[in-house]
């Protein structure tokens, strides 16, 4: 039983290893891109939408609304990043119902990579929105003594992001594997359904938390009202 798809190696050339994580990530990327291309190549502005166009519009509109609700800003510039986080994680977790598939999000390498992306995206969006000075100044507030704690907070929440997603998905996979060996009928299916639900929730949580972090960086130091209106991150399970 493999704990992580990193251990599944398909091909190796020097230091680069084509393991299961990368392979399944490419699969998910290919599915998402191909599906999007197939649907959006014939988009029309007619009020009578196709089912697939309707599905995509519901997805995109839902993500935009969530971003706008959390950030209280225009969702345009955050949509590709946050939306891709959600779609990638959701699709990765959804495909676990396919036999033989290993979710890339069950690899700590993948979740770490996503968390690093968020870790980098926060200052990038913050500086792009407010400028480097204003953004960096909030690390020394309320006093410069808080600088190390703020830095630790940034790092720890990034680690938490990575570990939370990895733990949930990996644990689901492991539980199903263990149940398959103990009670091969019925219970693994139930747990897999539960895993699907957990996977969707984790995708939502990851994307929302990323948006909350970015929103806190882009709306920082705008006065007491902005501080009061700073969106509260949802409680993670």
Binding region for another protein (CB under 8 A): 3-4, 6, 15-17, 19, 21-22, 25-26, 29, 32-33, 36-37, 40, 43-47, 53, 56-57, 60-61, 79-81, 83-84, 87-88, 104, 107-110, 112-114, 116-117
Minimum CB–partner distance for residue 149 and another protein (Å) = 25
Q: Select 79 or 134, whichever has its Cβ closest to another protein.
A: 79
Minimum CB–partner distance for residue 94 and another protein (Å) = 15
Q: Select 53 or 198, whichever has its Cβ closest to another protein.
A: 53
Minimum CB–partner distance for residue 3 and another protein (Å) = 8
Q: Select 88 or 135, whichever has its Cβ closest to another protein.
A: 88
Per residue, the 3-state secondary structure of 67-136, as one string, reads HHHHHCCCCCCCHHHHHHHHHHHHHHHHHHHCCCCCCHHHCHHHHHHHHHHHHHHHHHHHHHHHCHHHHH
CA 209 to the chain's CA centroid: 9
Q: Strand pairing of 9-13 and 16-19?
A: antiparallel
Minimum CB–partner distance for residue 134 and another protein (Å) = 26
Minimum CB–partner distance for residue 154 and another protein (Å) = 18
Q: Select 47 or 144, whichever has its Cβ closest to another protein.
A: 47
Minimum CB–partner distance for residue 36 and another protein (Å) = 4
Minimum CB–partner distance for residue 62 and another protein (Å) = 12
Q: Select 5 or 188, whichever has its Cβ closest to another protein.
A: 5
Tell me how far CA of residue 217 lies from CA of 108, 125, 128, 139, 148, in angstroms.
26, 7, 10, 10, 17
Based on DSSP, count helices (H) and strands (E) in the chain, helices before strands: 8, 2
Q: Are 77 and 217 in contact (CB under 8 A)?
A: no
Phi/psi at 136 (5° precision): -70, -25
CA 205 to the chain's CA centroid: 7
Q: Is 100 left (phi over 0), alpha (psi -120 to 50) or beta?
A: left
Q: Select 79 or 196, whichever has its Cβ closest to another protein.
A: 79
């Amino acid at each position: 039983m493999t704990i992580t798809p990193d251990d599944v190696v398909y091909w190796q050339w020097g230091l680069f290893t084509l393991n299961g994580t990368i392979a399944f990530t490419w699969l998910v990327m290919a599915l998402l891109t191909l599906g999007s291309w197939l649907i959006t190549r014939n988009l029309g502005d007619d009020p009578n939408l196709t089912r697939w166009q309707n599905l995509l519009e519901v997805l995109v509109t839902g993500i935009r609304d969530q971003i706008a609700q959390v950030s209280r800003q225009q969702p345009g510039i955050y949509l590709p990043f946050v939306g891709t986080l959600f779609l990638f994680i959701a699709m990765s977790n959804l495909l676990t119902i396919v036999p033989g598939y290993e979710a890339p999000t069950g690899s700590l390498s993948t979740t770490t990579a996503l968390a690093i992306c968020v870790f980098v995206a926060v200052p990038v969006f913050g500086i792009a929105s407010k400028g480097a000075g204003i953004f960096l100044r909030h690390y020394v507030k309320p006093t410069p003594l808080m600088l190390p704690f703020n830095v630790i907070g940034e790092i720890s929440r990034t680690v938490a992001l990575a570990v939370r997603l990895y733990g949930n998905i990996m644990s689901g996979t492991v539980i199903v594997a263990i149940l398959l060996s103990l009670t091969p009928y019925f219970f693994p299916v139930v747990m897999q359904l539960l895993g699907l639900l957990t996977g969707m929730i984790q995708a939502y949580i990851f994307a929302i938390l990323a948006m909350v972090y970015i929103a806190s960086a882009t709306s920082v130091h705008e006065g007491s009202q902005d501080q009061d209106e700073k969106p509260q991150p949802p409680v993670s399970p």
